[in-house]
């Protein structure tokens, strides 16, 4: 019995010795027993998040020593391994940790292909009490996006008045409450967004022809070396004369060339908003704004800024809309006919210096006394009566073109609004009136869009008397109720 007890005691002692040895091994390796320095790896931050294939990616790691640790530790290395165990990056001599302290380390890597990536971060620390090493790990999964290079360019024509303060003074867009504007480039109003007139500096001039340009990065990689250039060409119907005439600036003539202007880099999901000043313009222009840039990932391939994004805007925006309504064609003197109608403004902008005249058409000729009529200014919704007196060969002419010239925002426009010519003599009405055109605007049976020529003040008195507003069911030419 005593022998049995002795053997049992020896066996127990042997077992305890083995367990003690195993426990020491785990303490050194940090796997089972609790080491004196209780090291942990916190959440792993990724920047950018999510990363893009081919883009340099930072892994931000925090290593901590628990406040309940019995020992300080010296973090000798932090490294990251891929799913195959290969080391992607490593930093050494990270720093010392007392109980309750933490420190940060940054690891870098690049993912060649998109998709899900499983990584392991390791932290190795040397315990101050025993000198033994503790290794702790933390796994993380990162979703890598494919490379998408996409820059969206948006343009919007502004009125110079949009960039004035409430008291009418001039100032930078950023000072005037224009949301998001980061600078104005080119033309007569070139300025830097950092200008602060409230600090006593002279306010820069308001741009002559401002176009708001918004650069939006809709891709997955940064667009850098972004620059803007604007090129404008005259469009038909706008100018100081009839398009195509000598010196009038025909359609397709270059009216503006501005830039290039450098814009800050644009990260994925971000936007930059600036104003490009086209400078003085006397003709309506089709303006093409081009952004050239390169993707952040192009830098590795030594690729220049040869990617482009394009947007087109017409400047200035035409808001006035001339119409000819309630037109009557009747017999005049010496074989001429009288076109009696209203010129209306169905748009939201103001027409100034408006003139109507007889346009060119087969069988239609203006008379010296009745070929032109000065209307003057038409606000939004206004109309003014006018009379023109051309000669019309009814067997040839199908319509009488009414040319309208007016100015809006400093640009002179020409439009043609034809009315129907009288029928030949054997088909005319017996009451002396050669034809009656129904009330309508551009596109109706009685009026279509048209052009203009500058005239004098003839007929101004008549225009002042026969005027009114477009609206409701007004049927009388003097603007009064029916």
Tokens 């002396």 found at: 432
Q: Looking at residue 365, what is its pLDDT?
A: 92
CB atoms within 10 A of CB 133: 18
Beta pairing, strands 87-97 & 73-81: antiparallel
Question: DSSP class of residue 421?
Answer: P
What's the CA gap between 92 and 245, in Å, rounded?
Answer: 77
Of 315, 343, 359, the one marking the end of a domain is 315
DSSP conformation letters of 351-418 = EEEEEEEE--BTTEEE-TTTSEEEEEEE-TTEEEEEEE-EEE-TTT-SEE-EEEEEEETTEEEEEE--
Q: Give rounded-to-5 percent helix, strand, coil for the chain.
A: 10, 45, 45
Q: Looking at residue 482, what is its pLDDT?
A: 35
Q: Is residue 8 part of a domain?
A: no
Q: Looking at residue 264, what is its pLDDT?
A: 85
Question: DSSP class of residue 3?
Answer: H
Same domain, 101 and 190: no
135 close to 86: Cβ distance less than 8 angstroms? no
Tokens 């748009």 found at: 347
CB atoms within 10 A of CB 239: 26
Rg of the chain (C-alpha set): 40
Same domain, 160 and 224: yes
Same domain, 62 and 161: no
Beta pairing, strands 181-185 & 271-277: parallel
Q: Which CATH number belongs to the domain containing residue 407 in this structure? A: 2.60.40
Per the structure, how many domains does the chain have? 3
Same domain, 299 and 348: no
Same domain, 341 and 286: no
Q: Looking at residue 182, what is its pLDDT?
A: 66
Same domain, 156 and 252: yes
Token pair, residue 179, equals 């949301």
Q: Looking at residue 452, what is its pLDDT?
A: 32
For residue 227, list its beta bridge partners: 262, 292
Same domain, 130 and 227: no
Q: Looking at residue 52, what is its pLDDT?
A: 86
Helices (H), 151-202: none
CB atoms within 10 A of CB 271: 15
pTM of the full predicted structure? Answer: 0.55
Q: Is residue 16 part of a domain?
A: no
CB atoms within 10 A of CB 252: 13
Q: Is the dihedral of CA 373, 376, 379, 384 positive or negative?
A: negative
Q: Which CATH number belongs to the domain containing residue 73 in this structure? A: 2.60.40.10
Same domain, 161 and 204: yes
Same domain, 275 and 299: yes
Phi-psi region of 375 (alpha: psi -120 to 50; beta: other; left: phi over 0): alpha
Of 290, 315, 340, the one marking the end of a domain is 315
61 close to 104: Cβ distance less than 8 angstroms? yes
Query: What residues contact residue 95 under an 8 Å CB cut-off, 6+ apart?
Result: 74, 75, 103
Same domain, 282 and 391: no
Q: Looking at residue 338, what is its pLDDT?
A: 92
Of 144, 175, 205, the one marking the end of a domain is 144
For residue 145, list its beta bridge partners: 52
| Closest by Cα among 446, 416, 425, 461 to 337 | 425
Same domain, 379 and 426: yes
Token pair, residue 351, equals 């027409």
Q: Looking at residue 250, what is its pLDDT?
A: 52
CB atoms within 10 A of CB 266: 20
pLDDT (tens digit, 0 to 9) for every residue of the chain, 482 residues total? Answer: 333 344 444 444 444 444 443 333 333 343 445 677 788 999 899 998 888 888 889 999 999 988 888 888 889 999 999 999 999 999 998 889 888 889 999 999 999 899 999 999 999 998 878 888 889 999 999 999 888 889 999 999 888 777 766 555 544 444 433 445 567 777 544 434 333 333 344 455 678 888 999 999 998 888 988 999 999 998 865 544 333 333 344 555 788 898 899 988 998 899 999 999 888 887 888 999 999 998 877 777 777 778 999 999 998 888 899 999 999 998 888 888 999 999 999 998 899 999 999 998 899 999 998 899 999 999 999 999 999 999 988 888 889 999 999 988 777 888 899 898 887 665 444 444 444 333 333 333 333 333 333 232 233 333 333 455 554 333 334 433 33
Same domain, 309 and 334: no
Q: Is residue 188 part of a domain?
A: yes
- SS3 at position 169: coil
Order of strands across the sheet that contains 372-378: 372-378, 351-358, 402-408, 411-416
- SS3 at position 194: coil
* Residue range of the domain that includes 158: 151-315
């Amino acid at each position: 019995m005593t022998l049995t007890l002795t053997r049992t005691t020896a066996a127990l002692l042997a077992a305890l010795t083995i367990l003690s040895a195993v426990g020491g091994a785990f303490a050194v390796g940090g796997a089972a027993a609790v080491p004196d320095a209780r090291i942990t790896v916190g959440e792993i931050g990724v920047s950018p998040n999510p990363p893009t294939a081919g883009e340099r990616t930072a892994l931000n790691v925090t290593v901590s020593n628990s406040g309940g640790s019995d020992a300080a530790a010296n973090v000798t290395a932090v490294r990251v391994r891929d799913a195959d165990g290969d080391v992607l990056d490593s930093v050494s001599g990270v720093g010392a940790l007392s109980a309750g302290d933490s420190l940060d380390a940054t690891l870098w890597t690049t993912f060649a292909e998109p998709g899900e990536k499983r990584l392991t971060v390791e932290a190795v620390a040397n315990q101050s009490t025993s000198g033994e090493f503790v290794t702790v790990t933390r796994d993380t999964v990162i979703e890598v996006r494919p490379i998408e290079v996409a820059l969206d360019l948006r343009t919007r024509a502004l009125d110079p008045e949009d960039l004035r303060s409430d008291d009418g003074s001039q100032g930078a867009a950023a000072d005037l409450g224009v949301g998001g504007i980061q600078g104005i480039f080119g033309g007569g109003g070139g300025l830097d967004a950092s200008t602060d007139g409230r600090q006593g500096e002279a306010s820069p001039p308001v741009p002559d022809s401002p176009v708001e340009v918004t650069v939006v990065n809709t891709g997955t990689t940064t667009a850098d070396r972004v620059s803007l250039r604007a090129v404008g060409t005259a469009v038909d119907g706008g100018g100081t004369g009839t398009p195509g005439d000598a010196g009038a600036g025909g359609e397709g003539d270059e009216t503006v060339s501005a830039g290039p202007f450098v814009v800050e880099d644009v990260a994925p999901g971000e936007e930059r908003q600036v104003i490009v000043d086209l400078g003085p313009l006397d003709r309506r222009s089709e303006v093409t704004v081009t952004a050239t840039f390169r993707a952040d990932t192009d830098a590795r391939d030594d690729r220049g800024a040869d990617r482009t994004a394009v947007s087109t805007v017409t400047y200035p925006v035409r808001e006035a809309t001339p119409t000819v309504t309630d037109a009557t064609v009747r017999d005049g003197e010496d074989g001429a006919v009288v076109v009696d109608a209203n010129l209306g403004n169905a748009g939201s902008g103001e027409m100034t210096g408006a003139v109507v005249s007889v346009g060119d058409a087969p069988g239609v000729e203006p008379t010296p006394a009745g070929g032109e009529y000065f209307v003057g200014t038409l606000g939004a919704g206004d109309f003014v009566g006018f009379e023109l007196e051309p000669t019309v060969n009814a067997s040839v002419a199908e319509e009488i073109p009414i040319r309208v010239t007016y100015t809006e925002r400093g640009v002179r426009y020409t439009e043609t609004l034809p009315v129907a010519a009288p029928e030949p003599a054997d088909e005319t009405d017996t009451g002396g009136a050669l034809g009656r055109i129904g009330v309508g605007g551009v596109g109706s049976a009685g009026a279509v869009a048209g052009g203009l020529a500058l005239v004098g003040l003839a007929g101004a008195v008549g225009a002042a008397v026969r005027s009114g507003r477009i609206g409701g069911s007004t049927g009388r030419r003097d603007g009064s109720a029916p």
